[in-house]
Each structure stands twice: as C-alpha cells, then as structure tokens.
Amino acid sequence: MPLTTEQRRRNEASIRAAMDRLLLGQLPARGGCDLKTLAREAGVARTGFYARTDPQGNQRPGPYQHLAEEFQRRLADLREAGTVSDPRELQITRLKDENAKLRERVQERDARITELTEFKERAMSQLAAQHEEILRLRQRADSPNNVRTLPTARKSRITGPCG
C-alpha cells in the first residue's frame, strides 16, 4: 500500500529530526550512529533507505534513499572534521590506540627478555669456564709433583764477623 503525500512528509520530518539527534551524539541505549538506529528512531522501515528491484529487474530508489545518502554524507563530514558523534566509535578508537601501545610495549619487553636471556647464558658459560679453571688450578696446586726441594745453604766454618 503506497504512502500518502502527508504520511511521506511526516516520515521525512521524523527521519530528519532523528538524523539531527543522532548526528549531535544523542544516541539511544544499544544504538549507534547508523541507518538501523535512524530508522528505529524515526519509526520507519529500514528498507525505505535502500533501492528496490522490481520483478523485471529494474531498480528504483527507496522512498527515503535520498535521506539515507544525506545522513551518510553528513556523518562522513563529521568524521572528516574530527567530530565523531558515536561514543562507541570514540571508545573503539581509544581501545585500538591503547592496544597498539600495549603491543609495542610487549614487543619491547620481549626484546629485553631475549637480550637478558642471552646475557644470562653468556654469564653462566663464563662462570662455568672460570669454575673449571679454578678446579684445575686447585688440583695442580694440591698435586705432589708441584713440590720442589730447595737447595740447602752450605755450612761454612766461619764463625763470627771476621772469620
């Protein structure tokens, strides 16, 4: 059943009012700044925002398609200007930035852990080599082959200073 001119005018006014509210950031609970929420807030069927194809395959614009295009254009202009009306998008952007920073920190920590692990392995290797050297030197110092007999002093018959 086709819409009357008056119904269409009221629906368009309702869509424009809902569009203004959404673009100002006045989003309903569990709604976003999108066509689905726009249709729900305006009280119209969402299918009115899209082109339709008749049985012969010809496309004709939806009754509110021009308003959907205007909404998308205004939303894109707001985003381009840096004004985002959807708080969820702000949260998503913030979380993505935070996620990127955390990933960077994890990469830095992983690199530091790798560096410290390599240092520890080198230090342990050096300590093991030093320990082996100490053991070798102790064993050599304790062996009986290490003792040499020193020559004894000759006894002289000289007694006294002028002898």
d(CA 140, CA 134): 10
103 Ramachandran zone, left/alpha/beta (phi>0; psi -120 to 50): alpha
Q: What is the pLDDT of residues 41-74, one digit of tens each?
A: 999 989 888 888 888 888 888 888 999 999 999 9
Sign of dihedral through CA atoms 90, 91, 95, 101?
Answer: positive
Closest listed residue to residue 86, CA positions, set 21, 25, 42, 20: 25
pLDDT in tens, the chain (163 residues): 677 889 989 999 999 999 998 888 788 878 888 899 999 999 998 988 888 888 888 888 888 899 999 999 998 888 888 776 666 777 788 889 999 999 999 999 999 999 999 999 999 999 999 999 999 988 887 777 766 777 777 766 666 666 5
